Amino acid sequence: MSDSIVLVLNCGSSSVKGAVIDSKTGEVLFSCLGEKLNLPDAFITFKYQGEKEVEDLSAHPHHTGAIEAMLHALERHGLDKKIGAVGHRIVHGGEHFKESTIVDEAVIDNIQKCITLAPLHNPAHLLGISAARNVFHHIPHIVVFDTAFHQTMPDYAYTYAVPFELYKETGLRRYGAHGTSVRYVSGEAARMLNRPADKLALVVAHLGNGSSITAVKNGKVQDTSMGLTPLEGLVMGTRCGDIDASVFSFLHEQKGYDIGEITEILNKKSGLLGISGVSNDYRVVEESADTGNRRAALALEVFAYRLAKYIAAMTVATGHLDALVFTGGIGENSKTMRANVLEKLGFLGLVVDDKLNAEMRFGKAGIITASQNPLAMVIPTNEELMIAQDAAKLAGLA
């Protein structure tokens, strides 16, 4: 068995995403995606050394079928015996999990207890864990939670101003998401700046289809923009982010919508898509704005203004700012958005360097400001590598 190879799994209700990663080098040796699970036309696609292979799963269209097919593909490529651990991405660990951990029955119990907080995701993760433990029964399984890194938030940052009993009875509080990504880029920021992580004040903007912003001081999260669910905070692809909660009674009275319909509007029909009427995809909205679409331009401006406002607010949580870090598909690639946001934040001492800003795209990492204190940088995220590293460490491989 190799000493660093991990299978990273991300199980959804109708999909299983897998990657075999060398946790030391970050190299992806094999990847696969099982889709349409629990439907008659379920299938899985494997990628190995640049070659694609598609396999029909209709005879076994469930999670176990997909993971068994994965094992057989790994056997064909001689990779199965090299894998020393399986790392599972889990959306919600509630207050039970402050860090990654090895799966045992008590861990399964606690993931189950968090189902109320992530009713769509955690049941699918549990299915995936159970199937993967059956198929890969000889190696340790490790769970890595999107919420865990945020568990250091102080109570005044995670407490909502609602009757306290509701928190006690139901767990209603801010949890945040994107924690694995934020942990990865925070570590990378410290490494790239050659500064100890426990002496850095960072604001991390993870800007993708889902977007959030997190204040990280001395290696610990102080505050984050996503809340009980990933709906709160920034403007996203289809999510509205912050909004007056009275929108529920207002839209019910004005339009007769019920709770389910309003929840659907706020999660799936709002954000960039809702304002622009064009797309949830930032690039497409940018292209439309460039051709003169004013709603598309307004969507980008609402996005940038909310983001700048949040970055400034997060410096209250960090006390001061050493570095602002952009990551996620939009953060890693859109130089116009970054320039716009940095201009709005000039009063913090951030000054964009146009040449560097244009350079740091498409996977390139580096500083994008002329200012050094504070500075802004771009760091491509790599949640799968973080999961692989945690799994390797806990399984004693690293």
Please tell me which residue in 3, 56, 80, 146 is annotated as part of the active site. 146
Name the minimum Å distance from CB 250 to ligand AMP: 29
Question: Quick check: 142 and 103 in contact, CB under 8 A?
Answer: yes
Q: Are strands 220-224 and 375-378 parallel, antiparallel or unpaired?
A: unpaired
Binding mask 268-287 for ligand AMP (x = CB under 6 A): -------------xxx----
Tell me the sheet residues that pair with 325.
204, 377
- CB contact at 8 A, 240 and 219: no
Contacts 24+ apart (CB under 8 A), 113-117: 116/170, 116/171, 117/92, 117/171, 117/175, 117/228
User: How many H helices and E strands in the chain?
Assistant: 15, 14
Identity of the residue, 149 or 303, whose beta carbon is nearer to ligand AMP in the bound complex: 303
Cβ-based nearer residue to ligand AMP, 18 or 237: 237
Residue nearest to ligand AMP (CB): 329
Shortest Cβ distance from residue 33 to ligand AMP (Å)? 15
Parallel/antiparallel/unpaired status of strands 323-327 and 375-378: parallel
- Our CB check for ligand AMP shows the closer of 76 and 283 to be 283
Work out how close the CB of 148 gets to ligand AMP at its nearest, in angstroms, rounded to a whole number: 20
Q: How far is the CB of 205 from ligand AMP (least distance, A)?
A: 12
What whole-number distance in Å separates Cα of residue 386 and Cα of residue 398? 13
Question: Taking the complex as a whole, how short is the minimal distance between the CB of residue 367 and ligand AMP, in angstroms?
Answer: 19
| DSSP-derived 3-state class of residue 328 | helix
CA 82 to CA 395: how far, in whole Å?
14
Q: Which helix (H) or strand (E) holds 254?
A: helix 247-255
Tell me the per-residue interface mask from 206 to 235 with ligand AMP, x by CB under 6 A, - otherwise.
--xx--------------------------
**Closer to ligand AMP by Cβ: residue 222 or 276:** 276
Among 34, 93, 237, 271, binds ligand AMP (CB under 6 A): 237
> What is d(CA 358, CA 364) in angstroms, rounded to the nearest whole number?
10
- The token duo for 263 is 């929840």
Decide whether 283 or 364 has the Cβ nearer to ligand AMP.
Answer: 283
Query: How many residues contact ligand AMP, by CB under 6 A?
Result: 11
5-to-82, 85, 185, 381 alpha-carbon distances in Å: 6, 7, 21, 20
Site string for ligand AMP, 308-347 (x = CB under 6 A): --------------------xxx--xx-------------
User: Is 146 assigned a catalytic role?
Assistant: yes
Cα(156)–Cα(162) distance, integer angstroms: 13
The reply on whether position 12 binds ligand AMP by CB under 6 A is no
Q: Which tokens in the block code for residue 225?
A: 């923009």
Neighbours of 391 (CB within 10 A): 29
* Residues noted as catalytic: 146
Binding positions for ligand AMP, rule: CB under 6 A: 208-209, 237, 281-283, 328-330, 333-334
